[in-house]
Amino acid sequence: KYSPLDQIHAGNVADLRVAWRWSSPDNEIAKANPQAQPGAYEDTPLMANGVLYTFTALGVIVAIDPASGKTIWQYDPETWKAGRPTNLGFLHRGLAYWTDGASERLLAGTHDAYLMSVDAKTGRPDPAFGAGGRVDLTERLAFAERVRNYTVTSAPVIVRNIVIAGAGISDG
Protein backbone atom coordinates (compact mmCIF):
# COMPACT_ATOMS: atom_id res chain seq x y z
CA LYS A 1 0.00 0.00 0.00
CA TYR A 2 2.82 2.40 0.76
CA SER A 3 5.38 1.36 -1.85
CA PRO A 4 6.07 3.57 -4.87
CA LEU A 5 6.63 0.39 -6.94
CA ASP A 6 3.95 -0.39 -9.50
CA GLN A 7 4.60 -4.04 -10.46
CA ILE A 8 1.96 -5.30 -8.03
CA HIS A 9 -1.27 -3.36 -7.71
CA ALA A 10 -4.96 -3.90 -6.98
CA GLY A 11 -5.61 -4.83 -10.61
CA ASN A 12 -3.17 -7.79 -10.73
CA VAL A 13 -2.86 -8.98 -7.14
CA ALA A 14 -5.38 -11.81 -7.77
CA ASP A 15 -3.02 -13.19 -10.45
CA LEU A 16 -0.07 -13.62 -8.07
CA ARG A 17 1.16 -17.17 -7.49
CA VAL A 18 3.73 -18.76 -5.20
CA ALA A 19 7.09 -18.74 -7.00
CA TRP A 20 8.77 -21.21 -4.64
CA ARG A 21 8.62 -22.65 -1.14
CA TRP A 22 11.58 -23.33 1.09
CA SER A 23 11.74 -25.91 3.85
CA SER A 24 13.73 -24.94 6.93
CA PRO A 25 16.44 -27.36 8.11
CA ASP A 26 14.76 -27.00 11.53
CA ASN A 27 12.10 -29.45 10.33
CA GLU A 28 14.61 -32.31 9.96
CA ILE A 29 16.43 -31.40 13.18
CA ALA A 30 13.16 -31.41 15.15
CA LYS A 31 12.13 -34.75 13.62
CA ALA A 32 15.37 -36.38 14.75
CA ASN A 33 15.59 -34.54 18.10
CA PRO A 34 12.28 -34.18 19.97
CA GLN A 35 13.87 -31.82 22.53
CA ALA A 36 14.69 -29.35 19.75
CA GLN A 37 11.31 -27.89 18.88
CA PRO A 38 11.74 -24.56 17.09
CA GLY A 39 9.79 -21.53 18.19
CA ALA A 40 8.13 -19.09 15.84
CA TYR A 41 10.02 -18.05 12.72
CA GLU A 42 10.65 -14.38 13.51
CA ASP A 43 13.74 -13.79 11.39
CA THR A 44 13.82 -10.92 8.95
CA PRO A 45 15.69 -12.42 5.97
CA LEU A 46 18.59 -10.38 4.68
CA MET A 47 19.46 -9.84 1.00
CA ALA A 48 23.06 -9.02 0.06
CA ASN A 49 24.78 -9.30 -3.32
CA GLY A 50 21.94 -11.31 -4.83
CA VAL A 51 21.76 -13.90 -2.02
CA LEU A 52 19.00 -14.24 0.55
CA TYR A 53 20.20 -15.14 4.07
CA THR A 54 18.07 -16.40 6.93
CA PHE A 55 18.64 -17.49 10.52
CA THR A 56 16.29 -20.24 11.65
CA ALA A 57 14.71 -20.58 15.08
CA LEU A 58 17.15 -23.39 15.95
CA GLY A 59 20.13 -21.27 14.91
CA VAL A 60 20.97 -22.57 11.43
CA ILE A 61 22.30 -19.90 9.06
CA VAL A 62 21.21 -20.48 5.46
CA ALA A 63 22.02 -18.88 2.10
CA ILE A 64 19.19 -19.16 -0.44
CA ASP A 65 19.01 -18.39 -4.15
CA PRO A 66 16.13 -15.87 -4.24
CA ALA A 67 15.17 -16.73 -7.83
CA SER A 68 14.73 -20.48 -7.28
CA GLY A 69 14.41 -20.93 -3.51
CA LYS A 70 17.23 -23.48 -3.56
CA THR A 71 19.59 -23.64 -0.59
CA ILE A 72 23.10 -22.56 -1.57
CA TRP A 73 24.68 -23.53 1.75
CA GLN A 74 23.70 -23.95 5.37
CA TYR A 75 25.70 -23.83 8.57
CA ASP A 76 24.40 -25.48 11.73
CA PRO A 77 26.58 -24.60 14.73
CA GLU A 78 24.37 -27.02 16.71
CA THR A 79 23.72 -24.48 19.43
CA TRP A 80 20.30 -26.07 19.92
CA LYS A 81 22.10 -28.99 21.61
CA ALA A 82 22.76 -26.70 24.62
CA GLY A 83 19.05 -26.94 25.46
CA ARG A 84 15.96 -24.79 25.19
CA PRO A 85 16.46 -21.24 26.47
CA THR A 86 14.14 -20.27 29.31
CA ASN A 87 13.37 -16.78 27.98
CA LEU A 88 11.55 -17.31 24.70
CA GLY A 89 12.61 -20.81 23.71
CA PHE A 90 14.33 -21.41 20.40
CA LEU A 91 13.99 -18.13 18.58
CA HIS A 92 16.20 -15.91 16.42
CA ARG A 93 15.21 -12.64 14.81
CA GLY A 94 18.01 -12.05 12.35
CA LEU A 95 21.60 -11.59 11.48
CA ALA A 96 23.83 -8.77 10.30
CA TYR A 97 25.94 -8.40 7.15
CA TRP A 98 29.41 -6.83 7.13
CA THR A 99 31.95 -6.31 4.37
CA ASP A 100 35.23 -4.47 3.96
CA GLY A 101 34.87 -4.67 0.18
CA ALA A 102 36.79 -7.94 -0.07
CA SER A 103 35.50 -10.17 2.73
CA GLU A 104 31.80 -10.67 3.47
CA ARG A 105 30.60 -11.85 6.85
CA LEU A 106 27.30 -12.69 8.51
CA LEU A 107 27.14 -12.06 12.24
CA ALA A 108 24.60 -13.65 14.53
CA GLY A 109 23.95 -13.94 18.24
CA THR A 110 23.06 -17.41 19.45
CA HIS A 111 20.65 -18.59 22.10
CA ASP A 112 23.61 -20.10 23.96
CA ALA A 113 25.19 -16.63 24.23
CA TYR A 114 27.85 -16.52 21.54
CA LEU A 115 28.38 -14.03 18.75
CA MET A 116 29.26 -15.89 15.52
CA SER A 117 30.89 -14.70 12.32
CA VAL A 118 30.36 -16.79 9.18
CA ASP A 119 31.78 -16.27 5.69
CA ALA A 120 28.80 -15.12 3.58
CA LYS A 121 30.11 -16.87 0.45
CA THR A 122 30.91 -20.29 1.96
CA GLY A 123 28.96 -20.58 5.21
CA ARG A 124 32.11 -21.49 7.11
CA PRO A 125 33.00 -19.92 10.47
CA ASP A 126 35.40 -16.97 10.21
CA PRO A 127 38.69 -18.23 11.74
CA ALA A 128 39.86 -14.64 12.37
CA PHE A 129 36.85 -13.90 14.61
CA GLY A 130 37.19 -14.90 18.26
CA ALA A 131 37.87 -18.60 18.81
CA GLY A 132 36.78 -20.70 15.85
CA GLY A 133 34.49 -17.98 14.53
CA ARG A 134 32.70 -17.11 17.75
CA VAL A 135 33.01 -14.90 20.82
CA ASP A 136 31.65 -15.86 24.24
CA LEU A 137 29.23 -13.12 25.32
CA THR A 138 29.06 -14.41 28.91
CA GLU A 139 32.76 -13.89 29.53
CA ARG A 140 33.24 -11.57 32.50
CA LEU A 141 29.53 -11.49 33.32
CA ALA A 142 29.36 -12.65 36.93
CA PHE A 143 25.85 -14.10 37.01
CA ALA A 144 25.27 -15.05 33.38
CA GLU A 145 24.36 -18.70 32.88
CA ARG A 146 24.40 -19.82 29.28
CA VAL A 147 20.85 -20.68 28.04
CA ARG A 148 19.41 -20.58 31.58
CA ASN A 149 19.33 -16.81 32.13
CA TYR A 150 21.29 -15.21 29.29
CA THR A 151 20.56 -15.56 25.58
CA VAL A 152 20.66 -13.58 22.34
CA THR A 153 17.62 -13.59 20.04
CA SER A 154 17.86 -10.23 18.30
CA ALA A 155 19.90 -9.39 15.24
CA PRO A 156 23.21 -7.66 15.91
CA VAL A 157 23.78 -4.17 14.56
CA ILE A 158 27.07 -3.06 13.01
CA VAL A 159 28.09 0.57 13.32
CA ARG A 160 31.50 1.61 11.95
CA ASN A 161 32.94 -1.90 12.32
CA ILE A 162 31.64 -2.28 15.88
CA VAL A 163 29.13 -5.06 16.52
CA ILE A 164 26.37 -4.33 19.01
CA ALA A 165 24.49 -7.38 20.28
CA GLY A 166 21.56 -7.11 22.64
CA ALA A 167 20.83 -9.86 25.14
CA GLY A 168 17.78 -11.47 26.65
CA ILE A 169 18.08 -11.84 30.38
CA SER A 170 15.64 -13.97 32.33
CA ASP A 171 14.73 -11.95 35.38
CA GLY A 172 12.04 -14.26 36.72
pLDDT digits (tens, 9 = 90+) for 99-121: 999 999 999 999 888 999 999 99
Closest listed residue to residue 89, CA positions, set 68, 106, 69, 112: 112
pLDDT digits (tens, 9 = 90+) for 67-78: 999 999 999 999
Closest listed residue to residue 44, CA positions, set 96, 3, 90: 96
Sequence length of the chain is 172
CA distance 28 to 109: 22
> Which strand ranges, in their side-by-side order, compose the sheet holding 104-109?
96-99, 104-109, 114-119, 134-136
pLDDT at 162 over 60: yes
CB of 151 within 8 A of CB of 93?
no
Write the DSSP symbol of residue 26. Answer: H
